[in-house]
Structure 1
Amino acid sequence: MADVAHKVQDVAKEEASKVSAMTKDAVQSQAYLYPIKGVLYFLSHRDLWRPLTSKLAAVLTTSIGVTTLMFLVAYVPQMAIMAFTSGPVAAVSAALLTLSESSTIVNMLSRTFFMEDALVDTFDGTLLKKDCTNLVSGGRQIQSGGDTMARLGKLAKKPFAKFTPNAIIRYLLYLPLNFIPVVGTAIFIILQGKRAGPTSHQRYFQLKEWNQRQREVHIEQNRGGYTSFGVTAFVLEMIPFVNLLFVFTNTVGAALWAADLEKNAGTAPKLREQAKKAE
C-alpha cells in the first residue's frame, strides 16, 4: 500500500508539473489574446469580410436553425438530468452544454458542406495583409493588383480538415464531464481547446511544408499556447447565433499568430531549430 501511495504521489507531482509548465507557456505566449485580436482585425479590415459575406445566408441559416433546434429538443432533458448532479447551477450547465453541442454540429455541417474554401481564403488573406506573401505563395497562386482578397489565386491544396470520426468520438467521450458541476464544464472546455488549438494552424503547417513529425514537435513544445488559444476560440464559438462569425474571426486570429511567429526575431530561430530536430 505504501508503494502504491508513493506512485500516486509521483504521478500527481508529474501531472502538476506538466500543468504548471503548460500554464506558464500559455501566459508567456499570450496566444489566448489572438482570438480577440482576430475579432478587432476582422472588423477593421472590410476586405476580409468577403469570404464570410459570400456564405452569409448559409452561415446564419445553419447557426440559427441548429442552435434553436438544440435548445428546443435537448436543453430541457439535459437540465432535468443535471438537476441531480449540478443542483442550483443545472440551468447554466445545461445551457453551456447545449451551446457546445450546437457549436459542434454547426461547425461540422458548415465546414463539411460550404465553408472550407472561405476559411482558407480568410487565413491566406490575413497573411497577405501582414506581408507574409512568400509564405502564402507556397500554397496558392498570388495575383498582381487589386485588394488583398482579389490577389488570392488558385489553391494548390486544401488543408482545413473536415470533422473526422475520431474527433467526434473524443467529443462524445468528453461530453459527460458537463454533468460534473462547474469543474466538469471547465475541464470539458479545456480539453476541447487542447484539440482545437493545433487545428487552427493546419494551414500554417502546410504552408511551412512541415511533415507530421515536425508539426507534432512544434505543437508539443508550444502546448500551452495552443491550448489557451483553443480555449478562447472555443468559448467564442459557443455564443449562440453568431458562432460561425467567430469561426472566421478565430481564423483571422490564427493567421495573425502565424504571421507573428514568422516575423518575431526571437521565435523564428526557435521554429527552425524545432524543424531541424524533427527531421
Structure 2
Amino acid sequence: MHAQMLTLGPLVLPWAGLLALLAWLSGSTLHDRLLRRAGLPPGPHAWALALAVLAAARLAFVLRYAGDYAAAPWTALDIRDGGWAPIWGWAAGAVYAGVLWLRRRPARRAVAAGLAAGACLWLAGQLALRLAQPRTPITLPDWQGVALDARSVRLSDLQGRPLVVNLWASWCPPCRREMPVLRQAQQQHPQVRFLWVDQGEAPEVVLAFARAQGLPEADVLLDVRSELGQRLGHRALPTTLFFGADARLAAVRSGELSAATLAEHLARIRPPPLSGQLPKQ
C-alpha cells in the first residue's frame, strides 16, 4: 500500500478522497439512525453539512492562494486540482452544528453526533496514513535518463538544490493541461530545478510535444520503460514529486496541478540560501 494512493489493478485512488467519503458515510449513517430512534425523519442535514464542510474547505484554500487564481478566477471551481483546507471545513461543520444547537432544533444531537463520528474517522485515517509513511526518508533514486538535448542526467547527482520531478505522457489530458503551469513556475522560481520525465513514449513523440509546449530540451528526460515511476511507487499520471535540497522527498501530488496547488507544494521544499551562484541546469 502506498501511503497516499490506493492501487487496485489499473485503478489508482487517493486515500485522502476515500477518507473523506468514508467519514461522510459513517457520519450520515449515524445521523440517520439517531433520528429514526427519536421518531424523526432523516431530513437534509447530512447533505447540507457535507456541502458546508466541502465549500468552506475549498473557499479557505482559494482565499489563501487568491493571487494564483486571480488570472483565471473560474478555475477556483475546478476541484480536480486537489486544493482544500480541511481544518476550515471541519470548523464550518462545527459552526453548522452549533447553530442548530443554539436554536434547539430537534436534529441537533444527531447532527452533532454524526459530525463527531465523521471527524474522528477522518482524523484516525490521517494518523494511519502518517504512520504508514516509510520511516527511512525517500531520497533521489540513482536513476539516469537521457534528456532531449542528448545529455545524460542522473537524479542522485542533483542534490543541493530543490527539485521538482514531473512524471507525464503526451497522451494524458491532465498532463497536457498542467504543462503551462509547471513551465511558468520554472520561470518564476529559478532556484528550483524542474524536470519532466516522460513515461514510456518514443523520443520523436516527446520531442514534438516538448517543442510545442516550449519546454527546455535539457529538462525533458526520456524514460522509455517507465522505470522511474515504478521505482518510486507512482504509476498514476500525472504525478509530481518535490525533493528538497537535501535530496529528500518532501511532497507528492498525484493528479493535475493548478498554480495554487503547485505553490502549496513548492512551499514544502526550502531553497538553499541565495549566496553565490546557483547550480547550472
TM-score, length basis structure 2? 0.25
Higher Cα Rg: structure 1 or 2? Answer: 2
Structure ranking higher in strand proportion: 2
TM-score, length basis structure 1? 0.25
